[in-house]
């Protein structure tokens, strides 16, 4: 989201002083455990400050989650946190608004905003492991209660079971059921000194009990609910798989959806009479605060274009009453902004979308309101006597906005933070979520959900599912979304890690094939199986530089990235204008107006998107099928994977690079045929004896399917 400008000269001065004067900072492991380590973060600012916290990938960058304390008032702030194994990005947050990296830590990564994040690497501290050494690191064995370790996939009648071991430590793993049935586990990925194993089993109507048998040469161990043992545990010591095991029920329609994200103020001006004063000419350069007159009637007028492209779902940035162009500063959660055409325009749009077979997902900002929200205005007027005083966290009265003496998002006074634990406010927000579904929406994209307690989202899911059982809930999470995908909060998250993997591989960095493969592999075997087909697979958004710009206007890379997006697992999302090559740097430049003049569009790129979407919609395995990687060749830059659903299967082969690449693949029996048809451009390839051999040109991709005729 984009913040409105404000008088931040004092803030900038303090930030400059903090940045120019070294602060004393230290991050160290205090105590290791089988699951991770207790890590101490200390920070000694060079100037007097009132508060310090640490925000990072381990708490979804929530600056309020982990404050550092200075009980003896010596100017050294500290907090100790239990962190799991792995790489953790972090920054210190001073006085609630100044984000400072750890200048004493040489480990750092670019933060995407011309700065850097510091890195805390927590590695496994167990004994060295090697397959075949007749030893097992039993402390590394883990089969936890979360959905990442055991999942009920009721729609497919499957139980997914996962086990963690030390990396390179185990030759074989199997799950053994109480009735004697066995299933081998496959090693699916390794990371941070651990290997992760997976098996699936058919579900029956009754609970089942099981344990894991782990072997390496002469060494053998069993893992059950009672811990590690030398033999199969007794019944009381077995794991139990029953209806209490986590299950994530996702809306079926999302598996088949192709989303199109619209920033309403910049897509199309359908009714100039509702334009705010001082609107810029369509096509002018966007700034943080200017307006162009886009509205909901404009989106409605654009539906034939979207339907022709093949779009089946819209994600709209906020449409509710608010003074800004982005509407993330909500003034009224129950009305559509007048500049967008008001409630009547929303009804016209949803009715037209229904006729066109297009769903609408709205953007909800329930972490904070705008300062023009009627409840906050009442608080400003009546102070401690306001009926809505408890809806916000006010430190003292009277209320002052500059600087704010209340909790506010990133310390910005015009975005006061809501206290969702207050029953009356919670009821209002839950009713709001349900009300818009009753008025025609099909789901919610939730803004900064990591800054709202989990218990609120659990209630939110119940409320919106009561209102519309097939509603879709997707959260704006930039890092790991697993805590919100346990079955009782979100269906999916905005898949920014997917975007990063794609841009690293297809973009100017030209990252390696193996790194690309690894970045995609982990979430496929860590996120719930049920969530994979509905993950929000974006390549750009209102918060990022545009795809064309990141790819340095290389249309070959753009076409290949789009081919991958439209054939991979998850719901593809097109940010408005990406399909015609619209450029744009970081916000606000990424929020340019849509170029309706076809002379300003890359019509060839648009037709490429149209063909890919048509292909995806015509092939069930591309929408709902499993993924199996058949080739990830670093030397040639070739990546090949299959999609399979029942008897339907296809093969995607991509060559990222210059020159010619020779592809030689042995096809699985369920994919093999003497002739393989190419589904994007047409043509065929011979695969005698199930062996496929052909040449790919520079930056070329093909989608092949067995010709069963």
pLDDT digits (tens, 9 = 90+) for 496-534: 999 999 999 999 988 999 999 999 999 999 999 999 999
635-644 pLDDT, tens digit per residue, is 999 999 999 9
User: Are 491 and 474 contacting, i.e. CB atoms less than 8 angstroms apart?
Assistant: yes
> What was the pLDDT predicted at 7?
31
Neighbour count for residue 278 (Cβ, 10 Å): 8
Structure confidence at residue 64 as a pLDDT band (50, 70, 90): confident
User: pLDDT over 70 for what percent of the chain?
Assistant: 95
pLDDT (average), residues 145-167: 94
268-301 pLDDT, tens digit per residue, is 999 999 999 999 999 999 999 999 999 999 999 9
> What was the pLDDT predicted at 271?
98
> What was the pLDDT predicted at 372?
98
Strands 86-94, 116-122: pairing kind: antiparallel
**Torsion sign, CA atoms 223, 226, 227, 230:** negative
Structure confidence at residue 17 as a pLDDT band (50, 70, 90): very low
> What was the pLDDT predicted at 125?
60
Residue 107 has pLDDT above 80, yes or no: yes
Name the residues annotated as catalytic.
Answer: 447, 476
Residue 260 has pLDDT above 90, yes or no: yes
* 18 Cβ contact partners less than 8 Å away, ≥ 6 residues apart: 45, 46, 47, 94, 98, 100
User: Are 450 and 62 contacting, i.e. CB atoms less than 8 angstroms apart?
Assistant: yes
Residue 195 has pLDDT above 60, yes or no: yes
pLDDT (average), residues 660-683: 96
pLDDT (average), residues 44-73: 91
Name the packing angle between helices 423-438 and 454-467 (round to 10°): 30
User: pLDDT over 90 for what percent of the chain?
Assistant: 84
410-440 pLDDT, tens digit per residue, is 889 999 999 999 999 999 999 999 999 999 9
pLDDT (average), residues 122-129: 69
> What was the pLDDT predicted at 297?
99
Q: Say what the pTM is.
A: 0.91
How many angstroms separate the CA atoms of 449 and 478, rounded? 11
> What was the pLDDT predicted at 6?
35
Residue 10 has pLDDT above 60, yes or no: no
> What was the pLDDT predicted at 34?
64
pLDDT (average), residues 576-592: 98
**Cα 338 to Cα 275, 343, 347, 348, 639, distances in angstroms:** 9, 8, 13, 14, 49
Structure confidence at residue 111 as a pLDDT band (50, 70, 90): confident
Residues facing 443 on adjacent strands: 361, 472
Residue 698 has pLDDT above 80, yes or no: yes
Residue 29 has pLDDT above 80, yes or no: no
Residue 627 has pLDDT above 90, yes or no: yes
DSSP 8-class letter at 16? H
> Kindly report the CA angle at 183 between 152 and 569, in degrees rounded to 5?
50
Residues facing 224 on adjacent strands: 227
> What was the pLDDT predicted at 22?
61
Structural domains of the chain in order of their starting residue, each with its CATH number: 9-122 (2.60.40.10), 138-241 (2.60.40.10), 252-367+420-618 (3.20.20.80), 370-416 (3.90.400.10), 625-706 (2.60.40.1180)
* 181 Cβ contact partners less than 8 Å away, ≥ 6 residues apart: 201
> What was the pLDDT predicted at 84?
84
> What was the pLDDT predicted at 508?
93
Residue 657 has pLDDT above 80, yes or no: yes
pLDDT (average), residues 9-33: 56
Residue 16 has pLDDT above 90, yes or no: no
**Cα 536 to Cα 223, 262, 482, 624, 654, distances in angstroms:** 36, 15, 14, 14, 22
How many angstroms separate the CA atoms of 480 and 492, rounded? 11
Q: Which residue has the tokens 């997902």?
A: 361
> What was the pLDDT predicted at 112?
66
Residue 11 has pLDDT above 80, yes or no: no
> Kindly report the CA angle at 375 between 373 and 377, in degrees rounded to 5?
70
> What was the pLDDT predicted at 326?
98
Residue 126 has pLDDT above 70, yes or no: no
pLDDT (average), residues 232-256: 96
């Amino acid at each position: 989201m984009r913040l409105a400008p404000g008088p931040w000269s004092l803030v900038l001065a303090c930030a400059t002083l903090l940045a120019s004067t070294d602060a004393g900072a230290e991050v160290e492991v205090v105590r290791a455990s089988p699951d991770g380590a207790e890590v101490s973060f200390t920070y000694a600012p060079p100037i007097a400050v009132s508060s310090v916290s640490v925000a990072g990938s381990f708490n979804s960058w929530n600056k309020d989650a982990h404050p550092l304390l200075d009980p003896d008032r010596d100017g050294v702030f500290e907090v100790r946190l239990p962190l799991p194994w792995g790489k953790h990005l972090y920054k210190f947050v001073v006085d609630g608004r100044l984000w400072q990296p750890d200048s004493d830590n040489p480990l750092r990564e670019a933060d995407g905003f011309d700065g850097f994040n510091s890195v805390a690497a927590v590695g496994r501290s167990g004994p060295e492991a090697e397959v075949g050494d007749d030893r097992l690191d039993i402390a590394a064995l883990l089969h936890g209660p979360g959905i990442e370790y055991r999942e009920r996939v009721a729609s497919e009648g499957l139980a997914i079971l996962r086990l963690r071991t030390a990396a390179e430590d185990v030759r074989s793993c199997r799950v053994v059921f109480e009735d004697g049935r066995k299933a081998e586990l496959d090693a699916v990925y390794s990371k941070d000194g651990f290997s992760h194993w997976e098996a699936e089993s058919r579900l029956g109507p009754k609970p089942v009990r099981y344990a894991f048998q782990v072997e390496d040469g002469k060494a053998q161990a069993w893992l059950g609910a009672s811990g590690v043992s030398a033999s199969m545990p007794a019944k009381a010591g077995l794991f139990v798989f029953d209806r209490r095991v986590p299950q994530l029920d996702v809306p079926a329609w999302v598996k088949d959806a192709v989303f199109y994200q619209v920033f309403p103020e910049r897509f199309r001006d359908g009714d100039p009479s509702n334009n705010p004063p001082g609107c810029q000419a369509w096509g002018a350069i966007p700034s943080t605060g200017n307006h162009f007159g886009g509205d909901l009637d404009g989106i409605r007028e654009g539906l034939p274009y979207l339907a022709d492209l093949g779009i089946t779902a819209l994600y709209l940035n906020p449409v509710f009453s608010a003074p800004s162009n982005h509407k993330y500063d909500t003034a009224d959660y129950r009305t559509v902004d007048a500049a967008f055409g008001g409630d009547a325009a929303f009804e016209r749009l949803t009715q037209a979308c229904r006729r066109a077979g297009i769903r609408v997902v709205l953007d909800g900002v329930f972490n904070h309101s705008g300062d023009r929200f009627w409840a906050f205005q009442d608080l400003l007027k009546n102070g401690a006597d306001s009926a809505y005083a408890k809806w916000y966290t006010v430190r003292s009265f009277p209320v002052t906005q500059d600087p704010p003496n209340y909790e506010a998002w990133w310390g910005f006074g015009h975005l006061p933070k809501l206290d969702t634990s207050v029953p009356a406010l919670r009821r209002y927000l839950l009713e709001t979520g349900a009300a818009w579904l009753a008025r025609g929406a099909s789901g919610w994209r939730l803004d900064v959900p990591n800054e709202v307690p989990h218990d609120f989202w659990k209630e939110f899911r119940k409320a919106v599912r009561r209102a519309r059982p097939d509603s879709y809930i997707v959260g704006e999470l930039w890092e790991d979304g697993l805590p919100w995908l346990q079955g009782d909060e979100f269906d999916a998250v905005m898949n920014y890690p997917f975007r990063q993997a794609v841009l690293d591989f297809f973009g100017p960095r030209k990252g390696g094939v193996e790194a690309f493969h690894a970045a995609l592999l982990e979430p496929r075997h860590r996120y719930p199986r049920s969530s994979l087909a509905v993950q929000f697979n974006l390549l750009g958004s209102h918060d990022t530089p545009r795809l064309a710009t990141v790819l340095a206007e290389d249309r070959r890379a753009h076409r290949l990235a789009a081919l991958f997006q439209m054939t991979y697992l998850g719901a593809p999302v097109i940010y408005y204008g990406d399909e015609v090559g619209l450029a744009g740097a970081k916000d606000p430049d990424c929020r340019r107006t849509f170029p309706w003049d076809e002379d300003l569009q890359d019509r060839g790129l648009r037709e490429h998107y149209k063909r890919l979407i048509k292909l995806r919609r015509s092939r069930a395995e591309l929408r709902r099928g499993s993924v199996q990687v058949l080739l990830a060749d670093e030397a040639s830059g070739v990546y090949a994977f299959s999609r399979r659903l029942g008897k339907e299967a296809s093969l995607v082969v991509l060559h990222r690079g210059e020159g010619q690449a020779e592809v030689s693949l042995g096809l699985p029996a369920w994919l093999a045929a003497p002739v393989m048809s190419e589904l994007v451009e047409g043509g065929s390839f011979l695969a005698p004896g199930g062996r496929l051999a052909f040449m790919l040109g520079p930056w070329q991709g093909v989608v092949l399917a067995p010709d069963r005729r």
